[in-house]
A and B are shown apart, each in its own frame.
Chain A
Amino acid sequence: MIEFKNVDFAYESDSLVLENINLKINDGEFVFIVGSSGAGKSSIFKLLRREEVATKGEVIVGGYNLSRLSNKDIPTYRRTLGVVFQDFRLIKSMTVYENVAFALRVTNVSSRDIRRRVPYILGLVGLGPKAKKYPDQISGGEQQRVSLARALVNNPALIIADEPTGNIDPALAFDIMHLLFEINRAGTTVLVVTHDMKLVDKFGGRVITIENGKVESDVVKESKL
């Protein structure tokens, strides 16, 4: 379960980027987070990744109180997450395969399991043939899918995806979103930030709108699938 309790957040001391956020997201939910550019969506994800710490209030994820997480526990906590970054964050010196495998190596998974798991996940996001390419040698949409593959590879309990379909054509975007839905159906909590209202309308579900650092609305829309 994810819980934001009276959360304020500011990068610099003067201006609040997030103001009095209160949210409760249960295990197994699929949630869209929408809102205009600069509203604070990525900042919410930064708090969830414990890249930043709430200025006020508490963020609690799966029993971890992120404001009180010790340095030693941060890696342990992060391994429970699958993150798709808005800016992909791929390691340029590693191939597509290595970028994905890396998330497993970090957690001490055996080489044999890595060799089994990584090709499977790359196939899932349609990147099998690109495994040996470097990030600079593939398109933006492909890089985005590498980021997605890395997020999925260690079977996380929670996936947070910042614009996972931002650079992808509509057909592929639908497929990717569908994949996230399938993963969600298998029990994983999924949070997706998107600007693509067509996708939101089509898939439906819980939609949280953030504006000016506040929760503007939190509704459930019907699926049109």
Chain B
Amino acid sequence: MRGGTFRYLSKQGLSSLSKNKLMTFASIGVLSACLFLISAALLLSVNLNSIIRYVEEQNEIVIFLDDLSEEKLAEADNQIRAIEGLNSVTFVSKADALKEQAAELGDAILEGLQDDNPLPDSYRIKISAYTDLALTVSSLEAIEGVIQVNAPSNLAETLASIRQTVLIISISVVTALILVTMVVIANTIKLTVFARKLEINIMKQVGARNNFIRFPFMIEGGTLGFLAAVVSIIFSLSAYQAILALTAKESASWMSAVYNNLIPLADLWWIIVIINITIGVITGVISTIASVKKHLKV
């Protein structure tokens, strides 16, 4: 296609958009609402992932031991490692624990404690997300010499199942939405295509190829999709920004662990931009092509 022809056909498509303002607004409205929901689902699942990853990292059982003789300690060690479903078992001696504390709080605290270390021996145990937490805890408690078991809540498991559900629901809702949007756009555009049926017929009569006739409609649909994407990007990103601002104020509440793991805007705006523009433009182009197809057979 020549540059001149390309420019001419693009202009045709764009002028049709401004001539049919009502249909343009309707289509952009429907498509941007759909894209907004897609963005919301995307933001939700991305953040849920980040929170779950965080919680999984916290999924650590710590057990503290009595002051045990070496034999007793070896026996307890055997029993602990025999329990099923543990990912990793790390022994932290009281000396190691003291060093850790010193590293965190400064060497000053070592003074006077070196000889009389008050910290107990402990184990740090990572369990997989699928392990029955309650059972594991009671087995650990039953071991002789174990004085305390600190287990996390079941939050990780709960979140993992929520993530699955959210994923399934979002995929089906988004698919349905895209289909509905395509039908709506195809129908709105069909009206203008029908009005241009005679025009298409004349074009074919003077020897226009189908691609030549389709091109302005594709530009029209693509532009429509692009504009809808811009609207959706603006709304979804500002909504997300507002949510981030709101949660930042609540840092004291018990939810702060969750809030602190929300992904900052700077890290994900580009995903939203790419997804919106891709889906918007593709949906726009496909639905216009579908509505022109019927009239090309003359």
Q: Are A91 and B207 within 8 A (Cβ)?
A: no
Interface string of B182-222 (1 = CB under 8 A from A): 00000000000000101101111111110010000000000
Q: Which of A59-67, A104-112, A183-191 makes up part of the contact surface?
A: A104-112
Give the docked Cα–Cα distance between A83 and B209 (Å). Answer: 17
Interface size grouping (class) on chain B = 20 to 34
Give the docked Cα–Cα distance between A91 and B199 (Å). Answer: 6
Note all chain A residues with C-beta closer than 8 A to B198. Answer: 89, 91
Interface string of A87-123 (1 = CB under 8 A from B): 0011111000000001101111011001000000000
Q: Are B207 and A76 within 8 A (Cβ)?
A: yes
Give the docked Cα–Cα distance between A75 and B204 (Å). Answer: 7
Q: Are A111 and B204 within 8 A (Cβ)?
A: no
Q: Are A106 and B203 within 8 A (Cβ)?
A: yes
Note all chain A residues with C-beta closer than 8 A to B1. Answer: 108
CB within 8 Å for A89 and B202 given contacts A105-B5, A108-B1, A111-B4: yes
Give the docked Cα–Cα distance between A78 and B204 (Å). Answer: 8
Give the docked Cα–Cα distance between A89 and B199 (Å). Answer: 8
Note all chain B residues with C-beta closer than 8 A to A108. Answer: 1-2, 5
CB distance from A45 to the nearest CB of B (A): 11
Q: Is B269 an interface residue, CB under 8 A from the partner?
A: no
Note all chain B residues with C-beta closer than 8 A to A85. Answer: 205
Across the interface, B205 reaches (CB within 8 A) one of A78, A105, A110, namely A78
Q: Are B207 and A78 within 8 A (Cβ)?
A: yes
Note all chain B residues with C-beta closer than 8 A to A111. Answer: 2, 4, 8
Query: Considering only CB atoms, which chain A residue lies closest to B212 in the complex?
Result: A106
Across the interface, A75 reaches (CB within 8 A) one of B196, B199, B201, B208, namely B208
Q: Is A51 an interface residue, CB under 8 A from the partner?
A: yes
Q: Are A93 and B199 within 8 A (Cβ)?
A: yes
Q: How many residues of A contact B (CB 8 A)?
A: 26
Query: Considering only CB atoms, which chain B residue lies closest to A115 in the complex?
Result: B4
Q: Is A79 an interface residue, CB under 8 A from the partner?
A: yes
Q: Is B255 an interface residue, CB under 8 A from the partner?
A: no
**Most chain A CB atoms below 10 A, which of B1, B4, B206, B208:** B206
CB within 8 Å for A51 and B205 given contacts A106-B212, A108-B1, A110-B2: yes
Interface string of B5-33 (1 = CB under 8 A from A): 10010000000000100000000000000
Smallest CB-CB A-B distances: 7 pairs: A111-B4, A79-B207, A78-B207, A106-B208, A103-B206, A75-B207, A75-B209
Question: Can you pick out 24 interface pairs between chain A and chain B where the beta carbons lie within 8 Å of each other?
Answer: A49-B205, A51-B205, A51-B298, A75-B207, A75-B208, A77-B207, A79-B206, A79-B207, A85-B205, A89-B198, A89-B201, A89-B202, A90-B202, A91-B199, A91-B202, A93-B199, A102-B206, A106-B206, A106-B209, A108-B1, A108-B5, A110-B4, A111-B2, A114-B4
Name A residues whose Cβ lies closer than 8 Å to a Cβ of B.
Answer: 49, 51, 74-79, 81, 83, 85, 89-93, 102-103, 105-108, 110-111, 114, 150
- What would 5 more interface pairs be, CB under 8 Å, given A75-B207, A108-B5? A51-B298, A79-B207, A83-B206, A93-B19, A107-B207
